[in-house]
Amino acid sequence: MTSPVGGPLLQLTLWRIRDFTREPEALFWVFAFPIILAFALGLAFSSRGPAVVRIAVEDGPGGRQLHESLDSLPDIESVLLAGDEAQRRLSTGRIALVAVAGEPALLRYDSTRSEANLARLVVENAIQEVSGRRDVREIREQRVTDPGSRYIDFLIPGLIGMNIMGTGLWGVGYGIVRQRNHKLLKRLLASPMRKSQYMLSHVLARMVFLVGEVGAVLLFGHLVFGVPVRGSLFSIAAIVFIGALTFSGIGLLVASRARTIEGVSGLMNLVMVPMWIFSGIFFAYSNFPEVLHPFIVAIPLTALNDALRAVMLEGASIVAVGGLLAIVAGWGLASFGVALKMFRWE
Amino acid sequence: MAQFIARMPESAISCRGLVKRYGSVVAVDGLDLEVSRGECFGMLGPNGAGKTTTIEIIQGLLEPDAGEVRVLGLGWDSHEPELRQRMGSQLQETKLAERLTVRETVTMFRSFYREGCAVDEVLQQVQLQEKRDSWIVKLSGGQRQPLAVACALVCRPEILFLDEPTTGLDPQSRRQLWEIVSGFGRDGGTVLLTTHYMEEAEQLCDRVAIIDHGQIIALGSPQQLIASLGAEDVVEFALENAGSVESSALATLPGVHHVRVENGTVHLTVRRVHEAVPALMELLAQRGARLSELLTHHATLEDVFLSLTGRHLRDD
């Protein structure tokens, strides 16, 4: 009994796909984890009214009175505490600010924490108001909850970018290093297998899974949170395709010499952690000092996330994000080039 | 050089002056080797003798520091793609992809070659038909080695390279693998294998090179090598109370060819056991020494290695 064998490229790609689909943990991290993350973060940030500020009032002259007047306000939750206990809670982050009654009133807080800054503004405003301040102008509020401008809308493209980075590096890098470690690369080298086809099979297998992993997050965001897709699906597909190629190349580079799983894991973290921090996955990189921005923008994941957000949320065309895609592709080409030169088969 | 090339057609493997160094360690030290087509050739030696380095250089997986290699009359520099099509290889310590099935693995290797046999045919040959749909991670060691050999045989190679094919296998699996290799040889294939099991070399190989410290220290058919001891049998004995008899007295006994003492055990290499043993008994009786142990066996390649190096092939 015989059956058609198919070409070596098909067989190598099938190998990659089988390796992945037969490993339940890998499936979880690639497909389920980003969705769980999106769901958790989406719930935490999307349906929330004005934030409640948690503070303490130090027990002392006028303390109880200040505590009662602040605690009665809807956006402040106050506790009356002895000085050292209040200080302890402040330093462990359980409260954002400590208020001390007196003339002048004292507000103690850590200005590097964003919720502490918010607490300072809210508490100062409240103290002025209960002390009889009259506002000179009236302010009207309008809360924005339109799809496209919420946190979840910001988050979903970031998660897609993060996933493309993670699966590119892990999917390609981990597999290669394991095969090198198992002397399987050497065995392949003893056969007439073409090295280029081996490399290509890793990239092709990534493309197969890409459809599922990006599609799952996109669809989830759209169905559950109504995250809009304002640009064309073709543009998104093109961006995702270029991004996946680039991160496959970086995965190949990271795996080009490493002998052990531990070694390659360290290298991957070295590559991925800066991007997790700087590339605007969970929060905008505009939070970083302006002098860093030129560097942050040049990182491949930043460019990928910016391009995805522009197309999804602003409906930008593929041409409009051409510059960003050039940055992404540039990293990819450079990585492939260096990886092919450096690659060791044993 | 012209003469060298003229001999090519019948030569499957030909090496001249191979040298490979790792830092200050010389793994292969000026090794020459000639393997004819259709021959099963074994490199026998202890661990670290340079067998693996040599077989990997011959397979074009390592670059020698000096020397020349020709396989099927061709050089690796000029004919790598063609040579890879015509050879099959099993390497030491290769772990095949755990989550592929037996059949998927062999099918993948088959796809690399222009010509070869049907996957099921080769699985039949190595008796893995029943396991064809099992994941490799679920196979025993005794099933993984035949699979590695199946991956090497699926291209119907002219030369088969086997690097310690039966290391770590139980006796039954070992014999089964020998049967597969013998079958390949009967069909006219050339085999180059390394081993540190002397039974394996004796069973399988037409010729054996005994390798130590990166050099061939003896070469010939297993029968020739054993005959080179000058005697076909070995008598081993030990005395009670750690007694001893001087070697010079033992050497003059009839039929004794060589005397060697190791850890209180005396090894006599003898030509005629029926003469040597009674003479030994008489000598011991004269000395009032009593035996605590006596055994005789036919000489093996292990004895050849021992007499050449004073060491055993295996430490265990």
Q: What percent of chain B clears pLDDT 90, i.e. is strictly above it?
A: 72
Before B278, cis peptide (omega within 30)? no
Which of B159, B196, B182, B148 lies closest to B51, judged by CA?
Answer: B196
**pLDDT, position B310:** 79
Task: Residue B61: list chain A partners with CB under 8 A.
Answer: 186, 189-190, 346
Under 8 Å CB pairs connecting chains A and B tally to 78
Q: Closest partner residue to A192 among B81, B107, B135, by Cβ?
A: B81
- CA distance to partner chain A, nearest, from residue B4 (Å): 26
CB A198 within 8 A of CB A12: yes
**pLDDT, position B315:** 59
**pLDDT, position A3:** 45
Please give the order of strands across the beta sheet that includes B66-71: B25-36, B11-22, B66-71
pLDDT higher than 70, residue B8: no
pLDDT higher than 50, residue B6: no
Task: Residue B96: list chain A partners with CB under 8 A.
Answer: 182, 184, 187
Task: Residue A191: list chain B partners with CB under 8 A.
Answer: 84, 89, 109, 112-113, 155
**pLDDT, position B7:** 45
Which of A273, A259, A266, A258 lies closest to A166, judged by CA?
Answer: A273
- CA distance to partner chain B, nearest, from residue A97 (Å): 56
Q: Which helix (DSSP H) or strand (DSSP E) does residue B311 occupy?
A: none
Find the closest chain B residue to A185 by CA distance: B94
Q: Which CATH architecture describes the domain B230-298?
A: 2-Layer Sandwich (3.30)
**pLDDT, position B66:** 96
Which is it for strands A53-58 and A97-100: parallel, antiparallel or unpaired?
A: parallel
**pLDDT, position A123:** 92
Residue type, A146: D
Residue type, A199: M
R_g over Cα of chain B: 23
> How is residue B37 annotated by DSSP?
T
**pLDDT, position B302:** 86
Residue B162, SS3?
Answer: strand
Please give the order of strands across the beta sheet that includes A53-58: A76-81, A53-58, A97-100, A106-108
CB B240 within 8 A of CB B292: yes
B199-236 tens-digit pLDDT: 899 999 999 999 999 999 999 999 999 888 887 899 99
Q: Which residues of A313-327 are buried (b: 16+ CB within 10 A; e: fewer)?
A: beebebeebeebbeb
B14-43 tens-digit pLDDT: 999 999 999 999 999 999 999 999 999 999
Q: Cβ of A191 and B113 within 8 Å?
A: yes
CB A188 within 8 A of CB B59: no
Q: How far is A264 from A174, CA to CA, in rounded Å?
A: 7
- Residue B160 φ then ψ, to 5°: -115, 125
A189-233 tens-digit pLDDT: 999 999 999 999 999 999 999 988 999 999 999 998 889 999 999
Q: Cβ of A187 and B89 within 8 Å?
A: yes
**pLDDT, position B177:** 94
Structure tokens at B32: 């020459």
Q: Closest partner residue to B95 among A12, A23, A184, by Cβ?
A: A184
B129-167 tens-digit pLDDT: 999 999 999 999 899 999 999 999 999 999 999 999 998
Q: Cβ of A191 and B97 within 8 Å?
A: no
**Domain-wise residue ranges, chain B:** 2-222, 230-298
A303-318 tens-digit pLDDT: 999 999 999 999 999 9
**Domain-wise residue ranges, chain A:** 8-44+147-342, 53-130
Give A341: exposed, middle or buried? Use CB within 10 Å, 0-12, 13-18, 19+: exposed
Find the closest chain B residue to A1 by CA distance: B120
Task: List residues of A whose CB lies inside 8 A of any B CB.
Answer: 1-3, 5-8, 10-12, 14-15, 18-19, 22-23, 179, 182-184, 186-187, 189-193, 346
| Chain B contact probe: residue of A17, A25, A187, A202 with most B CBs at under 10 A | A187
Q: Cβ of B95 and A14 within 8 Å?
A: no
Which of A183, A168, A160 lies closest to A339, judged by CA?
Answer: A168
- CA distance to partner chain B, nearest, from residue A178 (Å): 9
Find the closest chain A residue to B124 by CA distance: A1
Q: How far is A60 from A66, CA to CA, in rounded Å?
A: 10
- CA distance to partner chain B, nearest, from residue A11 (Å): 5
Give the number of other Cβ atoms within 10 Å of residue B38's Cβ.
Answer: 16
A42-51, A70-79, B117-126: least confident range: A42-51
Structure tokens at A93: 């982050």
Task: List residues of B whose CB lies inside 8 A of any A CB.
Answer: 59-61, 81, 84-85, 87, 89, 91-97, 99-100, 104, 107-113, 118-120, 135, 151, 155, 161
Average pLDDT, chain A: 90
A83-131 tens-digit pLDDT: 899 999 999 889 999 999 988 899 999 988 888 998 999 999 899 888 8
Confidence of residue A47 (pLDDT cuts 50, 70, 90): low
CB A239 within 8 A of CB A301: no
- CA distance to partner chain A, nearest, from residue B305 (Å): 31
Residue B68, SS3?
Answer: strand
Find the closest chain A residue to B160 by CA distance: A190
Task: Residue A195: list chain B partners with CB under 8 A.
Answer: none
B188-200 tens-digit pLDDT: 999 999 998 888 9
**pLDDT, position A109:** 93
Q: Which CATH architecture describes the domain A53-130?
A: 3-Layer(aba) Sandwich (3.40)
- CA distance to partner chain B, nearest, from residue A18 (Å): 7
Find the closest chain A residue to B113 by CA distance: A192
Please give the order of strands across the beta sheet that includes B190-195: B87-90, B159-163, B190-195, B40-44, B207-212, B215-220
Q: Cβ of B110 and A5 within 8 Å?
A: yes
Confidence of residue B184 (pLDDT cuts 50, 70, 90): very high
The CATH classification number of B2-222 equals 3.40.50.300
